[in-house]
A and B are shown apart, each in its own frame.
Chain A
């Protein structure tokens, strides 16, 4: 078990160090996502009923668009520096590379959300310190990262990759967005865990299944 985890942790550590030094992912992502929800908040201002209904949709629009920019970055930096060749020639096998990349993607996106949720709470006057809301957000982000890591690695070798990633990725991530938005809206409007358990189940099954598929298919998208 330890020998399986070691390369994963090494990849995670490498990505974290690179990010701390280059600041290429988290900072621009937070900026972009905050600007997106600011614009929507501005457009919906003055209609508090409306904004309560659409608040979580706007939050997830911010996450999704910001997240896509992050996904493009995750593997394009590897491509630029020929990092994939390095990773493949290291002792890590493809599953370990997948899990390492998945965890770092998940971590980066979660940090972005950690910063965005308070901004969101202030702008839309919403109580964000609800455990369920954070749980949904984390489960949604995990599903997002599970598919995103595969597609990010795949589009790295395509022509016009920046356009192809959203085209391939968005239709697949729709169930996650629907589940996250519907359940967050329930929670924001005072719903309880029992009302959203079906969404949570859907998210958990989705995450588990796509992590498995991602781990299995990753070798096919990375081998030359």
Chain B
């Protein structure tokens, strides 16, 4: 993390057009990507949970949704902070922000559903169903918003990227930031997962005592 922070704030060159505000890009993009990456995890774990009824799968899905919500919150805030100086507005309804916001709403709905549903397997099943529907839905949200309107910059890294749209040191900076935040993402999910396991153990013990 320290290396990443050094790279973001000191090593990478300042953008010619956007200036210093462009540095938020190295936090905004990984947060957005990883926040959305939680969807496939939620989808796979929820489906497996419904088929096998293994509590472990439910706990992973729950933890991924929590961390996904956290990362998307940061992506939304940094996105708005960056959008204001570069585009002059806090918010635009182009595909990526639309997808991010709707996904964030789905995660919040997922977490609220867990809080409001009956304890035990019933609540877990409800959440798994919402997890599956929400994950599949995110594809449609993106498609719909894409057909609807499009002003957001195109993908700059990855298979869809156009060549030379990023300075090479900026690209390295972004990839290292992505790697560092991926590690943080995985670590946080594992942490939440182990906390949840302990919680379940305590609940079981309490149940046995009573």
Contacts and interface: CB of A to CB of B under 8 A. Distances in A.
Contacts of A150: 129, 133
Given A157-B122, A206-B140, A217-B129, A171 B116 contact: no
Contacts of A220: 50, 125-126, 128-129
A170 B106 CA distance: 9
| Chain A residues touching B, majority SS | helix
A185 B143 CA distance: 18
A198 interface: yes
B137 A175 contact: yes
Nearest to B50: A220
Interface stretch (A38-46, A64-72, A74-82, A158-166): A158-166
B102 A174 contact: yes
A168 interface: yes
Interface of B is mostly: helix
A159 B116 contact: yes
A175 B147 contact: no
Nearest to A158: B116
Interface size class of A (residues with CB under 8 A): 20 to 34
B93 to A, nearest CB: 10
Interface string A140-177: 00000001001000100111100010011011101100
A193 B132 CA distance: 32
B133 A217 contact: yes
A178 B132 contact: no
A213 B137 CA distance: 11
Interface string B146-174: 01100000000000000000000000000
B144 A202 contact: yes
A179 interface: yes
A171 B106 CA distance: 6
Contacts of B112: 164, 167-168
A120 interface: no
A89 to B, nearest CB: 19
Contacts of A202: 140, 143-144, 147
B122 A213 contact: no
B116 A172 contact: no
A179 B144 CA distance: 7
Interface of B: 50, 102, 105-106, 108-109, 112-113, 116-118, 122, 125-126, 128-130, 132-134, 136-137, 140-141, 143-145, 147-148
